[in-house]
Structure 1
Amino acid sequence: MEQKPKITVVGSINMDLVTITSQVPKVGETLFGEHFILNPGGKGANQAVAAVRLGANVQLIGCVGQDTFGTDILAHLQKEGVDVTNVEPVTDVTGTATIIVANGDNSIIVVPGANNYVTAEFVESKRDVIAESNLLIVQLETPLEGVIKAVEIAKENGVTVILNPAPIQELPSELLRNIDYVTPNEHEEQLLRQNRDEEELNGKLVVTKGSEGVSFSEDGKQSNIPAYKIDVVDTTGAGDSFNGGLAIGLIKGLSLREACKYGNAVAALSTTKLGAQTGMPTAQEVDIFIKSMK
């Protein structure tokens, strides 16, 4: 039997509070919304679910609160097949993301809560989990010190690293040197490049551009892969789906171009349903979709 690729995700775990409305309210304005949904989310949990549905063995490292949201999220992740052995309850509220979806796009406010406990010390206690992985995915919704420690452990053990730099913040050069791929969107890319030596990002940037596809560097030249044309319902979680797809493609030995194409297909399918995790496709669904588009 073929062994499943082992991915470790160090990152945030949130409950998404999603409001569907026809327009985003202005300051001081009150509007009636159309629907309200509670969905498990957080970039770490999202990327873990994306990778599991695509056929990986995924360990999630993070923290939740000792509250109803935390209990519900853990039960959901276990049902999805994510290994939550290394998700620990702490004495704080579970992280939340308040999401307003209007006209197919979204605005998000994140309150980290328990995610703030994913410190360097906490990550160090999970060293063996990271060291035994094929690939590590990290984001920036947990403390930067914990991200740096996770990447450091991965580097020491020859583990491939994908950094999804969201929400964007100033990053130390040492961190960028230790990662293999950085996956910003266009806005994050602009901020990432400010006051930075281009050599630090050379060959590592994979930029998601929504409806314009993905750009990356190949043999010193910039390449672009167009997005799949699809009717969009909700873009929440599309970037996380792409990262999960990219990770699977790389682990399977695809070239960066082919891994990006695969990630594109995963992201496209994820936008056809409401919610970050609920819209994430399975490997079979992605394969069928790709064949239908040829």
Structure 2
Amino acid sequence: MISVVGHTAVDHICKVSHLPVPNASASILERTISFGGGAANIAVGIALLGGKVSLVSAVGGDFIGSAYDSRMKELGINQRFFIAPEKHTATAFMFTGPEGDQMTYFEWGASCLFETEKAPSLPFVHMATADPGFNVQVAKQAGFASFDPGQDLHRYTAEHLKTILDSIDLLIANHHEYAGMCTTLGLTMEELVSSVPMAIETRGGEGAFLYEKGRKSFIPAVRVPCVDPTGAGDAFRAGFLTAYAAGFSSEDACRIGAVTASFVVETCGCQTGLPGWQEMTRRYKEKFGPFPTHGPGRV
């Protein structure tokens, strides 16, 4: 069982004419409302790929019995939810400019419960965006632990990050988030990736880098027509975690992550285009050649 900790949210995804400077405005060209939240996106991706997954999250009274709730139940996701009946489920407002750059505003809503609830002890866990103190507790108690600070990075102090880095097996983030962590910790990129057993740096359409045992490996992105980049990083994580937990090597798991991410950018919405295992396997063979074998599962 793969556990994922973090936000369940409703996404308002907007394509805009440009990203404005302060005190200016821009036109919204398209707007889509869809299921989201970094942790929930990853959990749904894992479930669709055939993995067993538990989602540790917080939701508001508007979630119970909703279409989103029903969708998770249909997929067999184990919901370990903290519920705040009087609050909204977390909501993200994302604005994407013509060059693919994004700005996001996030209403925590029910996710404020992470600040007060007790963290569970989990044998194989990925910590997505959530309260820093909660993730510190998770990291300290976990078996295999993966961490992604995501867009909540601004909430983490140097002490939070140091404690988590001392406890995890995998650090995964995009190049902007690595830069932010380096600034907070006063470390170089080389020092940061050397402080954990394994690190993955995603760089959107430029691909990703895997750092492991002193070696740096490049993982190319899978080129497809891009409709919207939102959710590609979460899909990469879903593909990687599903494959790695099943016993694939870290490099093969990264390629599976890259293939999984390619489906998401072809549509608008973080979960809309997520593939099943057979779909992912077919595209993997088209892009990378023979599908890899794997050893015994890690969970």
Corresponding residue number in structure 2 for 1:13: 8
Unaligned runs of 5+ in 2: 290-299
Moved more, 248-257 or 104-113: 104-113
Give, as a single letter, the amino acid of the residue that structure 2 aligns with 1:260.
C
Q: How does 1:61-76 map to 2 (within 5 A)?
A: 61-67=56-62, 71-76=66-71
Corresponding residue number in structure 2 for 1:262: 256
Distance 1:35 1:136 in 2: 36
Corresponding residue number in structure 2 for 1:275: 269
Corresponding residue number in structure 2 for 1:112: 108
Give, as a single letter, the amino acid of the residue that structure 2 aligns with 1:150.
V
Task: Report the Cα offset of residue 28 of structure 1.
Answer: 4.4
Corresponding residue number in structure 2 for 1:230: 224
Give, as a single letter, the amino acid of the residue that structure 2 aligns with 1:188.
E
Q: 1:256 to 1:36 in 2, by over 3 A?
A: same
Corresponding residue number in structure 1 for 2:176: 187
Corresponding residue number in structure 2 for 1:3: none
Unaligned runs of 5+ in 1: 1-5
Kindly indicate whether residue 137 of structure 2 is the aligned counterpart of residue 149 of structure 1. Answer: yes
Q: How does 1:109-188 map to 2 (within 5 A)?
A: 109-119=105-115, 121-123=117-119, 126-127=120-121, 130-131=122-123, 135-140=124-129, 142-154=130-142, 159-167=143-151, 168=153, 169-170=156-157, 171-188=160-177
Distance 1:153 1:68 in 2: 29
Q: Is the 8 A contact 2:82 2:113 kept in 1?
A: no
Corresponding residue number in structure 2 for 1:251: 245
User: Between Structure 1 and Structure 2, how many residues are aligned?
Assistant: 276
Distance 2:241 2:106 in 1: 25
Task: Report the Cα offset of residue 31 of structure 1.
Answer: 4.6
Task: Report the Cα offset of residue 242 of structure 1.
Answer: 0.8
> What TM-score, normalized to structure 1?
0.86
> What TM-score, normalized to structure 2?
0.84
Corresponding residue number in structure 2 for 1:87: 81
Corresponding residue number in structure 1 for 2:44: 49
Among candidates 210, 230, 241, match of residue 235 of structure 2: 241
Give, as a single letter, the amino acid of the residue that structure 2 aligns with 1:273.
T
Q: Is the 8 A contact 1:92 1:114 kept in 2?
A: yes
What is the CA RMSD across the aligned residues, in angstroms?
2.2
Give, as a single letter, the amino acid of the residue that structure 2 aligns with 1:162.
S
Task: Report the Cα offset of residue 286 of structure 1.
Answer: 0.7
What is the SS of the residue equivalent to 1:179? coil
